[in-house]
Amino acid sequence: MRTNGSNGKPLNVVGKPFRKVDARAKCTGQTRFADDIFLPRMLYCKILRSHLPHALIKNIDLTKALAVPGVFAIITGKDLPIPYGILPVSQDEHALCIDKVRFIGDPVAAVAAIDEDVAFDAMNLIEVEYQPLQTISSIEEGVMIDEPRIHEYGDGGNVHKKVSLEFGDIEEGFADADLIREDIFFYEGNTHLPMEQHAAVAHYDPDQKLTLWSATQTPHYVHRALTKVLEIPASHIRVIATPNGGGFGGKSDPFNHEVVVSKLAMITGRPVKCTLTREEVFYCHRGRHPVLMHVKTGVKHDGAITAMHFKSFLDGGAYGSYGVASTFYTGALQTVTYEVPRYKFEGVRVFTNKPPCGPKRGHGTPQPRYALEVHLDKVAEQLNLDPAEMRKAHLVKPNSVTANYLRIGSMGLGACIDKVVEGSDWKNKFSWNGYAGVSPAVAEARSPAIAGGTPANRKGIGFACSSYICGAGLPIYWNNMPQSGVQLRLDRQGGVCVMCGSIDIGQGSDSILAYIVAEILGIDPFDIRVVTADTDLTPVDLGSYSSRVTLMTGNAAIQAAERARELLTIAVAEKLSLPIENVSFAERRAFDVENPEFGVSFAEAVVLAESKFGTIGTVGSYTPPRSPGKYKGAGVGPSPAYSYSAAVAEVDVDADTGIVTVERIWIAHDIGKSINPVLVMGQVEGSVYMGLGEILMEEMSYRANRNVVHKFPSMLEYKSPTTMEMCDVKTYLIEDPDPNGPFGAKEVGQGPLLPVPPAVANAVYNAVGVRIDEVPITPEKVLKALREKSKGRDGRFGPESIPALEMPEPLRVLTPAEGGDGREMPRVAVHS
């Protein structure tokens, strides 16, 4: 029988702030990242990338480049003709473009040479003849311009995907509302900016097997892509994910440089390394989609939602990537925080000639969450309700099923709200008249007018909530196998080795395996050898994405460890003539619970078990529970559990410059149970930081012309928060164990980012009375809105409209409350 590890006994490891198993390696610079691999006779690869955003490739001339001394091989698209992509429905990438380039940075040819300088010089001698095509540079153009098409597939023209789902009859809900409000928002795209540039090393050994070391969050999916593109059996390919120097979703796709070094290693018979420059990392992207959103909500006087209609338009960039999933995610999780009895979602993703967008921390949900939480703030003001109280009054119930068939387990959002409201002194600071009851106009009158126009600073406070999945319920490709596997090997001298396909991207997933196994076997985490992310040595885990790792590998590890403990228990009970249920494990011993002095060492227990059963190895695996949703599109959103967060932001807005300074954020996160609280704290603080960067400054933006040139593909010009911009963070961890989580644990890597952007936006409004309905909130936008307001107009900065686009008839699903069974209703022909 599966357990979540808890058996009522006191915990010795879980819940304690142990060091990470790799902490010393990381603090002494000994962790070996992909670019730290140097092999004898290794060649270096440089990739020639398109300098045009959209063009046909007419000819590629390698003559001059091949003549450079020290060049070993050059390949182009015709050497790798098979397409790939992370999702089975969008196999639209080639490792090197064949007949067409789709954005500035698209790879065209790759050189392997004796060193990086030679490779670079040769790359620059490759002559490519292009025929430029019209570019598609925005959501509006993607919707409006049908030809030329960036891809020859999708939902027509340059529309990649259209989604339309309706749960219950929303018109009925709107008719029942006391107030209906509509708002439009835009969330600019931004990128992961991991400190480590992507890198990969391939080695083709003399027995014709390929090994790839790569900074990837998804070694299993890379393994699958390589076997497809290279046309060699998966059993001849070994993918080893090196520790990621930050991922945040940016290393979750199979990448062209991974395919290219593999091919070049096969051709040259020598190891080949490719390390991307920082500029190339910007072109790899797969970051946050720019999303234009329209939200319409009907509410009762007390803020109870009667119906919601959410529309999103995603700028997908040049390839599919995770985009179909991202599109669904912009509409999936609106229902898991507050009761939404009837809900309609329409989503559109367009292709544009920009670096492809994909999953970034929160994957597709920070944009709608920002829109929803600012929208609800406006609703609360219209109803003259406290925005925190209004939300708390209508929370989704634990152990319920939402209108769109997401099964909620534990639900700690109410406790989260209480903590931040109390901690921030919200009741005394917040009012719709302004901060501490002082309206912006009064604040302005009070502020000393200093000669020279020195700033008048205004304080403001804002509130928002959020939720996130603890692992996607379904794998990326359809199969009935577990999403996570763990193998355990017990050494007769007391050592334990845990093997799992998961990859540590800094979040501590290696350590989580050690803590959980140590807890169950009663040993020290540092007795455990952790072997991860090696397709030759470790059972499959799908990867570090969708906040799935602690929950899924944790549950798999529990199963493997409990099976091992059972073998040891039988052998020890026999040796000591004890009843099975009397054998307990702690402090590296197995002993009689009634007489703890009576027992054997852990190593002796392994010897007894090995003597009785043979070599001791066990396995564990984890498959998420089936979702109640059966309709087409129900695959995105279900999760074994949902984490919850609430945040209060306190800001200082300089009304003369428009500069927003976030002084402090109080955040409470419903973690279920901390496996290691200090690692949970680190994820909360890191999420707050990344959310702060998104709301204040980070943007992937392009020059305002048809060339679609990235404005600043550099770390200096792509602004991200330094120590000088980071705010103070007050963190509360709410522990409400979830039955599906290992020891009750839920996710923390992504969820706490989500409430930060809307909390800050709402605080800016509280401070200066202007609504910035567009992320990021730059000083320029604040000033524009303030000027509008001073002219007596609406103090708002944001988009005014959404594109007119015909949407398909929605797929209709009866809600659980309406007696639905989770399936779509049969389509009814409409006669006019």
d(CA 109, CA 59): 12
- C-beta of 556 vs 690, nearer to another protein: 690
Lookup: tokens for 424:
């921030």
Q: How far is the CB of 600 from another protein (least distance, A)?
A: 32
d(CA 429, CA 439): 12
Query: Which residue from 104, 454, 147 is spatially nearest to 284, judged by alpha carbons?
Result: 104
Query: Which residue from 643, 590, 691 is spatially nearest to 469, judged by alpha carbons?
Result: 643
The secondary structure of 732-762, three-state, reads EEECCCCCCCHHHCCCCCCHHHCCHHHHHHH
Q: Before 219, cis peptide (omega within 30)? A: no
- C-beta of 120 vs 174, nearer to another protein: 120
- 346 bridge partner residues: 164, 311
Lookup: tokens for 9:
């006994």
Give every CB contact of residue 577 below 8 A, 6+ residues apart in sequence.
Answer: none
- C-beta of 561 vs 760, nearer to another protein: 760
Q: Phi and psi at residue 490, in whole multiples of 5°?
A: -105, 125
- C-beta of 163 vs 680, nearer to another protein: 680
- C-beta of 531 vs 726, nearer to another protein: 726
Q: Taking a C-beta distance cutoff of 8 angstroms, is the pair 495, 588 a contact?
A: no
Q: How far is the CB of 166 from another protein (least distance, A)?
A: 39
Q: Which helix (H) or strand (E) holds 371?
A: helix 366-382
d(CA 665, CA 685): 10
- C-beta of 460 vs 749, nearer to another protein: 749
User: Could you give the angle at the alpha carbon of 576 between the alpha carbons of 575 and 579, nearest 5°?
Assistant: 105
Q: How far is the CB of 687 from another protein (least distance, A)?
A: 8
**What 3-state DSSP class applies to 245?**
coil
CA distances from 552 to 253, 286, 471, 542, 671 (A): 20, 24, 8, 10, 15
d(CA 346, CA 328): 9
d(CA 598, CA 575): 12
Query: Which residue from 88, 170, 160, 462 is spatially nearest to 334, judged by alpha carbons?
Result: 170
d(CA 52, CA 94): 17
Q: Where are the alpha helices (DSSP H) in 455-582?
A: 509-521, 549-576
- C-beta of 26 vs 78, nearer to another protein: 26
Q: How far is the CB of 84 from another protein (least distance, A)?
A: 27
- C-beta of 440 vs 682, nearer to another protein: 682
- C-beta of 80 vs 745, nearer to another protein: 745
Q: How far is the CB of 23 from another protein (least distance, A)?
A: 4
Q: How far is the CB of 685 from another protein (least distance, A)?
A: 4
Lookup: tokens for 614:
């043979």
Residues found near another protein in the complex (CB under 8 A): 17, 19-20, 22-33, 35-36, 38, 69-70, 115, 117-118, 192-197, 243-248, 277-278, 419, 423, 505-508, 674, 677-682, 684-690, 714-716, 720, 722-724, 726, 729-733
Q: How far is the CB of 417 from another protein (least distance, A)?
A: 15
- C-beta of 678 vs 825, nearer to another protein: 678
Q: How far is the CB of 33 from another protein (least distance, A)?
A: 7
Q: How far is the CB of 323 from another protein (least distance, A)?
A: 23
- C-beta of 35 vs 258, nearer to another protein: 35
Q: How far is the CB of 775 from another protein (least distance, A)?
A: 18
CA dihedral sign, ordered 10, 11, 17, 18: positive
Query: Which residue from 361, 246, 261 is spatially nearest to 691, judged by alpha carbons?
Result: 361
Look up residue 103 and give its amino acid. Answer: F
- C-beta of 651 vs 813, nearer to another protein: 651
Q: Where are the alpha helices (DSSP H) in 408-499?
A: 413-423, 426-429, 440-446
Look up residue 317 and give its amino acid. Answer: G
Q: How far is the CB of 441 from another protein (least distance, A)?
A: 33
- C-beta of 647 vs 782, nearer to another protein: 647
Q: Which helix (H) or strand (E) holds 164?
A: strand 159-167
Give every CB contact of residue 175 below 8 A, 6+ residues apart in sequence.
Answer: none
User: Could you give the angle at the alpha carbon of 802 between the alpha carbons of 800 and 808, nearest 5°?
Assistant: 160
- C-beta of 22 vs 106, nearer to another protein: 22
Give every CB contact of residue 680 below 8 A, 6+ residues apart in sequence.
Answer: 669, 671, 674, 733, 748
Q: How far is the CB of 725 from another protein (least distance, A)?
A: 9
According to DSSP, residue 342 is labeled: S
- C-beta of 30 vs 595, nearer to another protein: 30
Q: How many CB atoms lie within 10 A of CB 220?
A: 23
Q: How far is the CB of 194 from another protein (least distance, A)?
A: 6
Lookup: tokens for 727:
């705010």
Q: How far is the CB of 111 from another protein (least distance, A)?
A: 14
Largest CA distance in the chain: 90
Q: Taking a C-beta distance cutoff of 8 angstroms, is the pair 695, 721 a contact?
A: no
- C-beta of 146 vs 422, nearer to another protein: 422
Lookup: tokens for 828:
């009814």
Q: How far is the CB of 423 from another protein (least distance, A)?
A: 7
Q: How far is the CB of 508 from another protein (least distance, A)?
A: 7
